[in-house]
Amino acid sequence: MGRSRTNSGSAEDLLIKLDRDAGVPLHRQIETSIRAGIRAGLLRTGASLPPTRTLATGLGVSRGVVVEAYQQLVAEGYLVSRSGGYTQVAASMPPADAGSAASTAQPTARGVGFSVDFGYGRTDVSQFPRAAWLRSVRTVLTTTPNDRFAYLDGRGVPELHETLCDYLNRVRGTSALPGNVVICNGYGQGIALLIQVLVQHGARRIALEDPSSNDDARVLAGAAGLDVVGIPVGPDGVQVDALHRADADAVVLTPSHQWPIGGVLSAAARAEVIRWAKRRGAIVVEDDYDAEYRYDRSPVGAMQGLAPDRVVYCGTASKTLAPGLRLGWLVVPPHLVADVAAAKVLADRGSPVIDQLTFADFLARGEFDRHLRRMRPLYRRRRDALLGALRTHLPDLEPAGIAAGQHVVAWLPPDLDEAAVVTAAARHGLAIHGVGPYRIADTGPGGLIFGYATLGEAAIAEGVALLARAIRDVRGP
C-alpha cells in the first residue's frame, strides 16, 4: 500500500476481499474497501492504484466492474485520474461526513446565536467542483470566438441551449428544442419574466400550490396585479379537482417533489392538469427545483415532455452547484419564446456570456453528471441521519417527502402548536421553520421544515436533540 508514483500493484496490495454471496454489487464492495482504506490513512495522498485490468484479474472480475468503482471514487473526490491512465489518491479528501470536526462545523444561521440551523433551500456550496469548473473556464477563454463576447439576443448563447437540451431530454424526459430555451438569472428572474409575459397575454389569475414558497411567484404575481388562488396539496401533490374550480389562466407546480411537503404528482393527475391547460388555453409553469436528488425511488420525468406547447419548464443550478452562479433556464412553449426573450433583454440585456459558456462546457464534458453522482450519496447520508435522529428523539413526529430533495417535512402531533415549537426551538439555539407561513389559506396541520443539505451528521443529531428539549418545554411537566 505504501508504494506511490508507480502504477503497478495487485489486488493483494489493496487488501480487497469480495463476498459474492453478500447481495451487494461487486463494484460497490470495491468502492467501499478503497474508500475505507483512504479514510483510515492506509492509502496516502498520491498513492497509485493498480491498473483496472490488473486489479480485475487479481479479483477475478471483469475490468468493467473495476472501472465503474474507480469512476465513482473519482466522482466523489477520493481518487484522481492522471494522464497516461494513472489513478491516484487525491491530494485533498472530501470531508468525512460523520464523527469528524468537519461534519460538526457550525452552519450558517439566518439569525444570530443559533448553534444549529435547519434552514431550507440551500445546497452545500463547500462541495462546489472548483477544479472542474476552472478547467471549463480556461477552455472558454482560450477557444471561444470573439463574436460570442458581443451582445447576444435575450435567449443566451447557442452552445448552452444545445447542451441543456441534450441533458434535460436525457435525464429529465423533457421535449426541449434549443430554439425554445431562454437563459435567465435563476428561478427568481425566470418566474418574474414569465409573469410579465402572462400579463401581456391577458392573464388575470394565477394558481399556486398551497402550501408553496412565498418569496417568488406569490409576491411577483401580486405585484403584477394578478389574482392569486391557492390549490390544496395532499400527500401526492396538488389536488387537481380544485384546479378545475380555480378559474385560473396559469398554475405554478412542483410536480416531481412538491415544495415543501414532498409529494409526487401521479401520472393520472399530470395528464388531467395537461387536459385542463389545453381546454382553457392556460400555461403550466413547472418548477423542477431539485429533481436530480433522489434516494429511494426511480426518477420522475418532467411534465414538459407531455405537452411542450402548454408547459414552461424551469430549472437552475442553484440546488445542484451553487445559487451564487445565478444560472437558470426556461424551456418555453414556441408561441411565448419571443416575448420571454424580449422581456429578458429589457431586464438586463442578457446573462453573462462567460458563465453560460463555462456551464455549457461543464455539461458537455460530463462534469455535471459526475458532480451529481458524488453529491447524491452525501445528501442521502445526511437525510438518513435526520430520519434516524427523529426516530430516536421524536418518534411522534411524522416525516414526509423523504425520498428525494434536500429537506424533509415532519408533521407535528395535534397537541403541539407549530408556532410555539418554532419559538421554543429558537430559545434553545435551534433555527427551524414551520409550514404555516407558506400556506395561502392558512389552514392545515402543523409541521416543521428540516433543511439538511448544509449540515454534517453530528450537527443534525445535535439539532434534533435540541428540538426534543424545546418540545418538552412546550408540553410542560
Q: Which amino acid is at 5?
A: R
Range of the domain at 15: 11-89
CA 162 from centre of chain = 22
Per-residue pLDDT of the chain (477 residues; tens, 9 = 90+): 333 333 334 444 567 888 888 777 888 889 888 888 887 777 888 888 888 888 888 888 988 888 888 888 887 778 887 655 678 888 655 554 433 333 333 333 344 458 899 998 889 999 999 999 999 999 999 999 999 998 888 999 999 999 999 999 999 999 999 999 999 999 999 999 999 999 999 999 999 999 998 678 989 998 899 999 999 998 888 999 999 999 999 999 999 999 999 999 999 999 999 999 999 999 999 999 998 898 887 778 999 999 999 999 999 999 999 999 999 999 999 999 999 999 999 999 999 999 999 999 999 999 999 999 999 999 999 999 999 999 999 999 999 989 999 999 999 999 999 999 999 999 999 999 999 999 998 788 999 999 999 999 999 999 999 999 999 999 987
The helix/strand/coil state of 348 is helix
Residue 418 within a domain: yes
Interior/surface letters 47-75, b for 16+ CB within 10 angstroms, e for the rest: bbbbbbebbbebbebeeebbbbbbbbbbb
Say how many C-beta atoms besides its own lie within 10 A of residue 167's C-beta.
17
Both 181 and 326 in one domain: the answer is yes
Do residue 173 and residue 261 come from a single domain? Answer: yes
Q: Are 449 and 211 in contact (CB under 8 A)?
A: no
pLDDT reported for residue 19: 85
Write down the pLDDT at residue 35. 85
DSSP per-residue codes, 247-310: --SEEEE-TTS-TTT-----HHHHHHHHHHHHHHT-EEEEE--STT-BSSS-----GGGG-TTT
Q: How many domains does the chain have?
A: 3
Bridge partner residues of 208 (DSSP)? 230, 252
Residues 284 and 163 in one domain: yes
Residues 184 and 114 occupy one common structural domain: no
CB 382 within 8 Å of CB 390: no
Is 161 a domain residue?
yes
342 and 399 fall within a common domain: no
Domain boundary among 331, 365, 399: 365
Q: Give the containing element (helix H, strand E) for 49.
A: none
Domain boundary among 318, 335, 365: 365
Which SS3 state, helix, strand or coil, does residue 253 take? strand
When computed from its CA atoms, the radius of gyration of the chain, rounded to whole angstroms, is: 24
Report the relative pairing of strands 407-411 and 447-451 from DSSP bridges: antiparallel
Q: Would you report the helix, strand and coil content of the chain in percent, each value rounded to 5? A: 45, 15, 40
Q: What is the spatial distance between Cα 232 and Cα 20, in angstroms, rounded to a whole number?
A: 49
Whether the CA torsion 351, 357, 363, 368 is positive or negative: it is negative
Q: Is the residue at 94 inside a domain? A: no
- What is the pTM (predicted TM-score) of this model? 0.76
- In the chain, how many H helices and how many E strands? 15, 16
Contact 286, 238 (CB under 8 A): no
Does 147 share its domain with 263?
Answer: yes
How many other CB atoms are found less than 10 A from the CB of residue 22? 10
Q: What is the predicted pLDDT for the residue at 48?
A: 85
Task: Specify if 258 maps to a domain.
Answer: yes
Q: Would 1 be classed as within a structural domain?
A: no
Q: Is residue 95 part of a domain?
A: no
Residue 365, judged by CB atoms within 10 A of its CB (0-12, 13-18, 19+), counts as middle
Are 404 and 345 in the same domain?
no
Residue count of the chain, please give it.
Answer: 477
- Cell 430559545 belongs to which residue? 427
In a domain, 417, yes or no: yes
The last residue of one of the domains, among 365, 393, 426, is 365
Beta carbons within 8 Å of 265's beta carbon, 6+ residues apart = 236, 237, 238, 253, 255, 256, 258, 273, 303
Q: For residue 350, what is the domain's CATH number? A: 3.40.640.10
Both 356 and 454 in one domain: the answer is no
Domain match, 154 and 278 both: yes
Residues 184 and 294 in one domain: yes
Summarize pLDDT for 115-166 with one digit per residue, the tens.
899 998 889 999 999 999 999 999 999 999 999 998 888 999 999 999 999 9
Give domain status of residue 2, yes or no: no
Q: What is the CATH number of the domain that holds 69?
A: 1.10.10.10
Q: Are residues 106 and 85 in the same domain?
A: no
CATH number at residue 410: 3.90.1150.10
Q: What are phi and psi of 244, to 5 degrees?
A: -60, -30
Same domain, 134 and 113: no
pLDDT value at residue 283: 98
Q: What angle do CA 340, 342, 343 make, to 5 degrees?
A: 65
Q: Give the ranges where 202-313 is alpha helix by DSSP (H).
A: 217-223, 240-244, 267-280
